[in-house]
């Protein structure tokens, strides 16, 4: 067990990387998908199930946990790992993105963000320093800098000023983070849809010699080709021997194409949120169990899956549960979806090791396109 934070590059296939992040609480096999545990729970799942599916790390949200139950309270109760009974690594987002997408009446300045809680209307101020303090109180293993995710489309000078603010906040977060052995603080590359600004952000953050680098400001509604073009610009500008994390991504297709461009870590609410809304991710593509065509289909989602939710329940039963609004419907589909996402990541890790990622990606896309026979 290591007391430090260490990224090892084990294999490459084109720009894709197979690696490992070793931390005191465990090793993260990359490419990795991080199930989203926003308020200290991966919704509709037991933590043991999340682990059994192969997750090495989960994501928590500073914004949600600072509002409820409160960072100091979580610290008094032993920290987020103890509180949520997840002893493995946790990455926490810094809150800026959630403030801008969830909070009421928010104001952003050089100092930080001021906002009213969407829960009880209480006004909160969050500076880069306070965000890092909260993530430390939670006991987060990988802490994200506070940043500004500029809404697109935006004028170039607006994107530039926002990117430069995030760079100044990265510096303040690095100072506030100090020296926390075994933990890491990641910078977040901004720059909107402007390749030159993206490269400037990546190079400036690299100069801070951080433990890892996230790519933010994407998966905010831009077309996939725009997102991929930003990765083509950013990844070569980031250090080879540090992990790269694409925030908020994505669909299976987004993940495959981003791994091929050099991304190592992902998080997305898609598999869990879609599961609660009746949508199943499978190797034959997406299946909407709300659709009446499943009402008498006795087949399981995937007879060859080793996940009981995919193998042992008929589509007819899942359709019934979803239509009836039964809790078990969301539980089974979340289980299936996270199982599919983790098996997707394992397949990508194996393919990179074997130098056959291009063929593997083509076979995946063919399965999704063939659809559900
Ligand atoms: O620039 C960011 N900085 C900090 N955190 C972020 C989180 C993000 N999450 C996303 N996208 C999430 C997209 N997701 C897709 C499924 C439905 C709900 C929204 N972009 C992000 C950018 C950032």
| Residue from 108, 219, 266 whose mutation best tests the ligand 1 pocket (most atoms within 8 A of CB) | 219
Extract the residue ranges of the chain whose pLDDT is less than 70. Answer: 1, 373
The whole-number pLDDT of residue 215 equals: 98
**DSSP 8-class letter at 36:** B
Provide the whole-model pTM: 0.98
Q: What is the ipTM of this complex?
A: 0.99
Residue-by-residue DSSP string for 272-341: HHHHHTTEEEETTEEEETTSGGGTT--SBS-TT-SSHHHHSSBHHHHHHHHHHT-HHHHHHHHHHHHHHH
pLDDT tens profile 167-199: 999 999 999 999 999 999 999 999 999 999 999
The alpha carbon of 356 and the centre of ligand 1 are apart by a number of angstroms equal to 30
The whole-number pLDDT of residue 373 equals: 66
Length of the chain: 373
The whole-number pLDDT of residue 1 equals: 65
The alpha carbon of 251 and the centre of ligand 1 are apart by a number of angstroms equal to 13
Question: Helix or strand or coil: residue 261?
Answer: coil
Lining ligand 1 with CB less than 6 A are 93, 96-97, 147, 149, 188, 216-220, 247-248, 268-270
The whole-number pLDDT of residue 371 equals: 86
Q: Whose CA is nearest to atom 3 of ligand 1?
A: 216
* CB neighbour list of residue 275: distance below 8 Å, 6 or more residues apart: 44, 330, 333, 334, 335, 336, 337, 338
Q: Are strands 26-30 and 104-108 parallel, antiparallel or unpaired?
A: unpaired
Q: Whose CA is nearest to atom 12 of ligand 1?
A: 248
Distance of CA 71 to the CA centre of its chain: 21
Q: Which atom of ligand 1 is nearest to the CA of 149?
A: 1
The whole-number pLDDT of residue 245 equals: 99
By CB atoms closer than 10 A (0-12, 13-18, 19+), residue 324 is exposed
pLDDT tens profile 273-301: 999 999 999 999 999 999 999 999 999 99
Q: Which atom of ligand 1 is nearest to the CA of 218?
A: 20
The rounded distance, in Å, linking the Cα atoms of 323 and 148 is 40
């Amino acid at each position: 067990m290591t007391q430090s934070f260490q990224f090892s590059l084990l294999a490459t296939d084109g720009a894709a990387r197979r690696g490992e992040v070793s931390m005191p609480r465990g090793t993260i096999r990359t490419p990795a998908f991080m199930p989203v545990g926003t308020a200290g729970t991966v919704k509709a799942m037991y933590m043991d199930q999340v682990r059994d599916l192969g997750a090495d790390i989960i994501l928590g949200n500073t914004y949600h946990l600072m509002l409820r139950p409160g960072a100091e309270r979580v610290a008094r109760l032993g920290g987020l790992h103890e509180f949520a009974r997840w002893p493995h690594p946790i990455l926490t987002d810094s809150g800026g993105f959630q403030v801008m997408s969830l909070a009421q009446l928010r104001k952003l300045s050089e100092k930080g963000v001021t906002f009213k809680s969407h829960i009880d209307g209480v006004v909160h101020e969050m500076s880069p320093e306070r965000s890092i303090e909260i993530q430390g109180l939670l006991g987060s293993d990988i802490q994200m800098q506070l940043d500004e995710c500029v809404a697109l489309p935006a004028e170039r000078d607006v994107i530039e000023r926002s990117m430069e603010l995030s760079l100044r906040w990265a510096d303040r977060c690095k100072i506030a983070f100090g020296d926390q052995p075994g933990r890491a603080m990641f910078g977040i590359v901004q720059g909107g849809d402007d390749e030159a600004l993206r490269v400037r952000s990546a190079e400036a953050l690299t100069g801070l010699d951080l433990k890892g680098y996230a790519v933010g400001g994407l998966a905010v509604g831009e077309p996939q080709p725009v997102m991929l073009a930003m990765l083509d610009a950013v990844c070569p500008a980031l250090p080879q021997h540090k992990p790269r994390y694409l925030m908020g991504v994505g669909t299976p297709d987004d993940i495959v194409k981003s791994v091929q461009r050099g991304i190592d870590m992902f998080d997305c609410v898609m598999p869990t949120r879609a599961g609660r809304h009746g949508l199943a991710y499978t190797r034959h593509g997406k299946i909407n169990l709300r659709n009446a065509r499943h009402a008498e289909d006795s087949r399981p989602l995937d007879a060859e899956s080793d996940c009981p939710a995919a193998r042992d329940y008929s589509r007819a039963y899942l359709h019934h549960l979803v239509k009836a609004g039964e809790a078990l419907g969301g539980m089974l589909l979340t289980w299936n979806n996270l199982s599919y996402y983790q098996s997707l990541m394992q397949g990508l890790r194996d393919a990179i090791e074997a130098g056959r990622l291009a063929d593997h990606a083509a076979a995946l896309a063919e399965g999704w396109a063939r659809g559900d026979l």
